[in-house]
Chains A and B, each alone.
Chain A
Amino acid sequence: MTLISVLIALFVFPGGLFLIVAGLFYQWFNRKLLAVLQNRIGPRWFQPFADVIKLLAKEEVIPDGVNPYLFIGLPIMALAGALTAAVYVPIAGIAPSYGFSGDLIVVLYLLSLLTLCIGLAGANSLDRFSLVGATRTLTQLFSYEAPFLLAMLGPALVAGSWQVGKITAYAQNHWLILTQPLGFVVALVGLMGKLEMPPFDAPEAHTEIVAGALTEYSGRGLAIFDLGRAVELIIGLTLVSSFYLGGVANLPLFVVKTLLLLFVMVGLQSLLTRLRIDQTIGLWWRYGTLLVLVQWFFMVFA
Chain B
Amino acid sequence: MENKITSESFTIPMGPQHPALKEPGHFQFTVDGEIVTRAYVRLGYAHRGIEKAAESRNWVQDLYLLERVCGICSHIHSFAYCLAVEQLAHVEAPPRAQAIRVLVAELERIHSHFLWMGVSAHEAGFDTLFMYSWRDRETVMDILEGLTGNRVNYSANILGGVKFDVDDVQAASIRKGLDFLEERTNHYLQVLGKDAMFLQRTRGIGVMTRAQAEVLGAVGPTARASNVMRDMRVTAPYSAYRQFSIRMMLDSRGDLEARFQVRVQELLESIRLIRQILDNLPQGELSVHLPRRIPAGEAAVRLEAPRGEVFYYIKSNGTDKPERLKVRTPTICNLNSVIRLAVGHQLADVPMILAGIDPCFSCNDRMVTLADERDGSERLMTWSELRQHGIDFYKQAAK
Residues of A at under 8 Å CB distance from B? 37-40, 65, 126-129, 131-132, 135, 198-199, 201-202, 205-210, 270-279
Contact = CB atoms under 8 A, between A and B. Distances in A.
Contact of A273 (B1, B33, B197, B350): B197
A272 B197 contact: yes
Interface of B: 1, 3, 10-13, 18-20, 31, 33-34, 121-128, 131-132, 135, 195, 197-198, 200-201, 346-351
B287 to A, nearest CB: 41
A209 B18 CA distance: 9
B386 to A, nearest CB: 29
B19 A276 contact: no
Contact of A37 (B10, B128, B349): B128
A207 B20 contact: yes
Nearest to B34: A277
Given A37-B128, A208-B351, A210-B19, A132 B123 contact: no
A199 B197 contact: yes
Contact of A208 (B3, B20, B135, B197): B20
B116 to A, nearest CB: 15
Given A206-B20, A207-B122, 15 more contacts: A38-B128, A131-B10, A132-B12, A199-B125, A207-B20, A207-B123, A208-B347, A271-B128, A273-B121, A273-B124, A273-B125, A273-B200, A275-B197, A277-B348, A278-B346
B80 to A, nearest CB: 32
B198 A128 contact: no
B120 to A, nearest CB: 10
Given A127-B1, A205-B348, A270 B11 contact: no
B201 A273 contact: yes
A206 B21 CA distance: 11
Q: Which 7 A-B pairs have the closest CB atoms?
A: A274-B125, A207-B20, A273-B126, A38-B131, A276-B348, A273-B197, A207-B351
Contacts of A199: 125, 197
B247 to A, nearest CB: 30
B12 A128 contact: yes
B351 A128 contact: no
Contacts of A275: 197, 200
Most buried by B among A38, A65, A127, A276: A276
Contacts of B348: 202, 205, 208, 276-277
Nearest to B17: A210
A40 B131 contact: yes
Contacts of B20: 206-208
Contacts of A206: 19-20
Contacts of B121: 273
B34 A126 contact: no
